[in-house]
Structure 1
Amino acid sequence: MQQSSPRGIRNNNPGNIGRGDEWKGLVPTAQRTDKSFCQFTSPEYGIRAMVIILRNYQRKHGLNTVSGIINRWAPPNENNTQAYINSVAQAVGVSPDHKIDVGDSRIMLPLLEAIIKHENGQQPYGFDVFVRALGLAG
């Protein structure tokens, strides 16, 4: 990827997941150049991590609305969270406080696409990349 690509796309981390957890598919430690965000070997692994996080938000934290999910994903101290919530809810086709099930691919796919677009200003991945990522997530 050329330097002009957004950071999340360059890092194969389109959800801009911060460093911390040792995710499957991370670039080897010696090759990591981003001090703040995870760098994955392919976008599929970055999207896989997003899927796992979103599933955990629902399963472990009871977050089952776009509003609840995005408030945790992109907290107001770092983001214009309300604008983020509104754009994701519109893309998913629900109101911000409508209950959603991230286990339903008809919800998960547009949710992933909307988060990626909001994080990077673009969503460059084809359907096949999401299918592979969901397969990796199990």
Structure 2
Amino acid sequence: MASQPRGIRNNNPGNIDYNPRNQWKGQLSYDPVLEKRFCRFESPEYGLRALMSLLGTYQRKYRLKTVAGLINRWAPTKENNTSAYVNAVAKQLDVQPTEPIDVSDKKTVIGLAKAIVRHENGTLPYSDETFEKAFSLL
């Protein structure tokens, strides 16, 4: 049996980097033996909540209003094929990469989170109910 992608194993399907300044709800203690780089969460809902929360921060703090802007910050080109990532996410949301979106809108942020999870992990293993629960934790 193949092992799950790291983001799924860590309940961090957005592959959010660990930063000691961030104290996410539901975040497990840092353990460099288990995971050196990424956060780990007690459940997928808390990992998805962190993903959605971070997208909101990107939009409010950095004024990133498009899929292109958000994904360029989420997945920098130094370690990703960001243009392919942007295009894949925009296609899944049925928007143009430079079209303004509003991540404070529940449907939009859940759709964006689903697209990011699929791109980061190669799969979307969570139900709509899991995303709804994560959104309710914001």
**Fold equivalence (TM over 0.5):** yes
Contact 1:32 1:39 in 2 (8 A): no
Q: Report the 3-state secondary structure (helix = DSSP H, G, I; strand = E; otherwise coil) of the residue aligned with 2:83.
A: helix
The correspondence of residues 1-138 of structure 1 with structure 2, limited to 5 A, is: 4-20=3-19, 21-29=22-30, 33-137=34-138
CA distance in 2 between counterparts of 1:65 and 1:24 reads 26
CA contact (8 A) 2:17 2:37 kept: yes
Distance 1:32 1:127 in 2: 32
Where in structure 1 do 4 or more consecutive aligned residues deviate above 2 Å?
A: 28-32
> Quick one: distance in 2 between partners of 1:63 and 1:111?
14
Letter in 2 for 1:72: R
| Paired AA for residue 8 in structure 2 | I
Comparing 99-108 with 71-80, greater Cα deviation is found at 99-108
TM-score normalized by the length of structure 2? 0.94
Q: How many percent of aligned residue pairs carry the same amino acid? A: 51
Deviation (angstroms), 1:28: 3.0
State the shift of 1:29 in Å: 3.8
Partners of 2:32 and 2:133 in 1: how far apart? 24
| Contact preservation (8 Å) 1:44, 1:130 | yes
In the superposition, the TM-score normalised over structure 1's length comes to: 0.94
**CA 1:32/1:44 → structure 2, altered by over 3 Å: closer, same or farther?**
farther
Alpha-carbon RMSD: 1.5
Measure the CA separation in 2 of the matches of 1:105 and 1:32: 36
- The whole-number CA distance in structure 1 between the counterparts of 2:31 and 2:38 is 15
Give the letter aligned to residue 124 of structure 1. P
Q: Tell me if the contact between 1:109 and 1:130 (Cα under 8 Å) persists in the aligned partners.
A: yes
Check 1:106–1:30 CA distance in 2 against 1; reply closer, same or farther (3 A cut): closer
| Contact 2:106–2:135 (Cα < 8 Å) also in 1 | no
Shift of 1:24: 1.4
| Residue identity in the other structure for 1:58 | Q
Unaligned stretches of 5+ residues in structure 2: none
Aligned length: 136
